[in-house]
Amino acid sequence: MGPPRSARSAPRTLPASSERGRCTYELAEDLVAIHHGGAPGPTAATVEGGAISVEPAESRAAESVEDAVLGPVYRRVPGGGVVVPTGRALVRFSEGVVADHQRDELARAGYLVEEILRYAPHAAWVRASSGEIADALRGLSRLQGLARVQNVEPQVISEAARRR
């Protein structure tokens, strides 16, 4: 069966940040994320209060969840912890550049602005125009290549650490 199409089309490696390259993520081809699913099946992990489950790629659980969106899963390098991309990226422009004025440039790169940060008007959360998680991840280098962009970070979430 193999990984779902959405995971196959995702990049094999993903930088945690364009500014700080020491941490990267590697595609976990043996896992798939099920977004907005109902009750998870035999999950490897759940994140976002159970709204996203991480399943073995060979599992048929994803096929039985109505309105489920399948997405890629990555592992941290170094460390191996599992992270799930949301399809959003944080773009930080140079100080003094108003992110809201960069909407056309971001659109030409294939992204829509979802939110301008009130506390940092030179930064914005963006999502691929297609709405596809893999498209957002594949286009990160286009965002990094835009004039006046200082940093690009894909939003990833992980299972909450439990305190003892």
Q: Per-residue pLDDT tens for 85-111? A: 999 999 999 999 999 999 999 999 999
Residues 6+ apart with CB under 8 A from 49: none
Q: What angle do CA 32, 35, 138 make, to 5 degrees?
A: 65
Write down the domain spans for the chain: 5-82, 86-158
CB atoms inside a 10 Å sphere around CB 10: 24
pLDDT digits (tens, 9 = 90+) for 57-75: 887 655 666 667 889 999 9
Residue of 117 and 49 predicted with greater confidence? 117
**Summary mean pLDDT of the chain:** 83
Which of 3.20.20.70, 3.40.1190.20, 3.40.50.300, 3.30.70.330 is the CATH number of 86-158?
3.30.70.330
**CA 126, CA 140: separation in Å to the nearest integer?**
11
78: preceding bond cis by omega (within 30 degrees): yes
| Whether the predicted model's global pTM rises above the 0.75 cut | yes
The sheet with strand 69-71 has its strands ordered as 45-47, 52-56, 31-35, 69-71
